[in-house]
Amino acid sequence: MNLLDTIMNSQGSPVGQIARQFGLDERTVGNVMQQFLPALTNGVKKNVQQDGGLDSLLGALNRGGHERYLDDSASITQPGAVQDGNNILGHLFGDKQVSRELAARTSQQTGVDSSILKQMLPMVAGLAMGALNKQTHAMGMTGGGMTGGGLTGGAQSSSSLGPLMGLLDADGDGSVVDDLMGLAGRFLR
């Protein structure tokens, strides 16, 4: 199950909550998420591929409690959740300009005003981290690395990254490098 499916199928119905918050229908919010999630997962990929990145991500997932946004729909639109999402975006993208460009591009593709999308993006970032947290726990991954052995410091081996990278591989070809290059190409246009 991919991140979008995890979000859309969550029992807390955060998509409906976001739709109500912005006066949109759930289908439109789903379409927006389809545009946002590849950029967010590419940001995660970039961070995970850095030295110590996987352990850092898993630690953040375990400490962040982001799954609450999937389980309690009212929480995703609260100021604390928005701040949490902005922190996630800052970590993933490093620059607010990337978020602005993503909102502008998504606006062109969905017809939703970019000012709404800029407000929605932090919420989707929180949901994405919640979905990623649920999926990593389902795969037996914890903040210390893989269950039953952990990751020893330093760079992660590709085999230890396998389950997580499978979640993040946008085109399913087993390589995240081409997905990162595709993202970079879209931002440089």
Neighbours of 76 (CB within 10 A): 27
What is the mean predicted confidence (pLDDT) over 137-165? 46
Are the CB atoms for 23 and 150 separated by under 8 Å? no
- Does residue 39 carry a pLDDT above 90? yes
Are the CB atoms for 122 and 88 separated by under 8 Å? yes
What gap in Å lies between CA 145 and CA 132, rounded to an integer?
14
Predicted local confidence at residue 50, as pLDDT: 81
pLDDT tens digit string along 118-133? Answer: 999 999 999 999 998 8
Query: Which range of residues forms the domain containing residue 15?
Result: 3-188
Predicted local confidence at residue 172, as pLDDT: 55
SS3 101: helix
Q: 77: which residues sit within 8 A by CB, 6+ positions away?
A: 17, 18, 21, 123
Computed over every residue of the chain, the mean pLDDT equals 79
Positive or negative CA dihedral for 5, 81, 91, 94? positive
Predicted local confidence at residue 62, as pLDDT: 81
Predicted local confidence at residue 88, as pLDDT: 92
Number of domains observed in the structure of the chain: 1
Predicted local confidence at residue 173, as pLDDT: 56
pLDDT tens digit string along 46-64? Answer: 888 888 877 777 778 788 8
pLDDT tens digit string along 80-121? Answer: 999 999 999 998 898 899 999 999 999 999 999 999 999 999
E strand or H helix at 104: helix 96-110
SS3 168: helix
- Does residue 43 carry a pLDDT above 50? yes
Burial classification of residue 51, based on how many CB atoms lie within 10 Å of its CB (0-12 exposed, 13-18 middle, 19 or more buried): exposed
Query: Which region among 47-51, 104-108, 140-144, 173-177 has the lowest average model confidence (pLDDT)?
Result: 173-177
pLDDT tens digit string along 157-168? Answer: 444 445 455 555
Q: What is the DSSP string of 126-156?
A: HHHHHHHHHHHHHTTEETTEETTT---SSSP
Which residue shows structure tokens 């955060």?
A: 14
End-to-end Cα separation, the chain, in angstroms: 31
125 is written with which tokens?
């970032």
Predicted local confidence at residue 171, as pLDDT: 56
